Every structure is written in structure tokens, then in C-alpha cells.
Amino acid sequence: MINNNKEMSRSIIVLSVIALISGLLLSMVFQLTKITEDEEMARITKNLNIIHFAENGYEKIETNDNNNENNFFKAVGEDYFIVIGTGQGYGGTLEMYVSFCGNEIINLKAGTNSDTPGMRENALNNEYYSTFYVDIYNAVFEFSDEGFDSAVGATFTSNGVLAAVKDAVTLYKSYIESNNLAMILNADSVTGDR
């Protein structure tokens, strides 16, 4: 019995040491592979410039939407905006770079996603994206599932693209509407109208 207790104590100590070493190794791997904020911004900036080269760079637009921090950019000196929307695809979160000029969506580009290669190409292509290139205030147009056909063989990815575009449009519309209201209020205060 004493031998059993010694062996059990020894086993517990050995297993504890193995767990401690495993935890330390996992912590080191996490630290080595962790993406810093600067690295993430460098990745985003690279993608922004692939979509539309802004000679004077991009500025980050601050919004009141806490769900979309770091996801709204304006080309400096241009009426060109890119909003990074997210939606749930087949393999997890799908990121879409949605470009706006005035009231129109003029470009889409897939960002990070983990959807199935081969299938995702059915939904992540220019032919499918072209269905989204519209005036966002068009009365006939609504971002509803009924308004868009899913890409063949990629229903979940298509739904993720739609959700990401909706996310971006919602944020962009909110920005436009709040800025237009601010401009109207500023113009009224300058002219004395109320």
C-alpha cells in the first residue's frame, strides 16, 4: 500500500510537471505567433492599397459603432471609403472590404476567411460581387436574402458575403447620415436659421 501511494504521488508529480511544461510551451508559441496591432494595421493598409491606391494614404474613421473598430477608412483627399464588414461564412468569420464612392458600392474584395477552398471561389468572385454594385439608397434595392441568389455550391459563403456587405452598408449609411445632419446643423448655425 505504501508503494502504491509513492507511485501515485510520483505519477501526480510527473503529470503536474508535464502540464506545467506544456503550458509554458503553449504560452511561448502564442507569443511567437501573436499578431500585433501594428502588424494587423499593416495587413489592412496593404489590402486597402491593393483595392484602391490612395496617393495620400488612408485615414481611419472613428464611429460610434463599437462592433466595427478599426474597420472604416477614407482615402485622404478623395471621396472614396472602404469599410471592412464581417459575416458568418461556412468556416467561420468572413471579412469583406466594401468600397464606396458617394452612395454607391463600387468594389468588393474578400479579406480573411476560412471557408472551404474550391467552394468559396463560387461566392468570392467578381461575377457574384457585381450584384452588389448599386446605389445604397435605391428604393428598389434592399440587402435581403431574397434579393440575392446564393452562389452555386457555396450557400453559407454567399450568406456570409451578404452579411458582411450589410454590415459595411449599415456602418457607411450611419456615417453619411450623421455627417449630413452635422453639416445641416452647422449651416443653420452659420446663417442663423433654426
Q: What is the pLDDT of residue 13?
A: 93
Question: What is the model's pLDDT at position 150?
Answer: 55
**What pLDDT sits at residue 27?**
86
CB 161 within 8 A of CB 97: no
Pick from 102, 81, 70: nearest CA to 180: 102
169-175 average pLDDT score: 88
Residue-level length of the chain: 194
- In tens, the pLDDT along 55-109 reads 999 998 887 665 555 689 999 999 999 999 998 888 788 888 999 998 889 988 8
DSSP 91-157: SSEEEEEEEEETTEEEEEEE-S--PPTTTHHHHSSHHHHGGG-SBTT-TT----GGGSPPPTT-HHH
The cell numbers describing 136, all together, are 445604397
**77-81-85 Cα angle (round to 5):** 155
Domain spans in the chain, listed from the N-terminal domain onward: 1-34, 37-191
State how far Cα 45 lies from the chain centre. 13
Query: Among 6-20, 22-36, 89-103, 180-194, where is mean pLDDT lowest?
Result: 180-194
Higher-confidence residue of 9 and 30: namely 9
Q: How far apart are CA 132 and CA 162, in angstroms?
A: 9
Q: Return the pLDDT at 144.
A: 55
- Whole-model pTM: value is 0.69
Q: Can you give the pLDDT at residue 116?
A: 61
Top-confidence residue, 56 or 34: 56
Residue that has been written with the C-alpha cell 501573436 in this structure: 34
If one compares 172 and 157, the residue with the highest pLDDT of the two is: 172
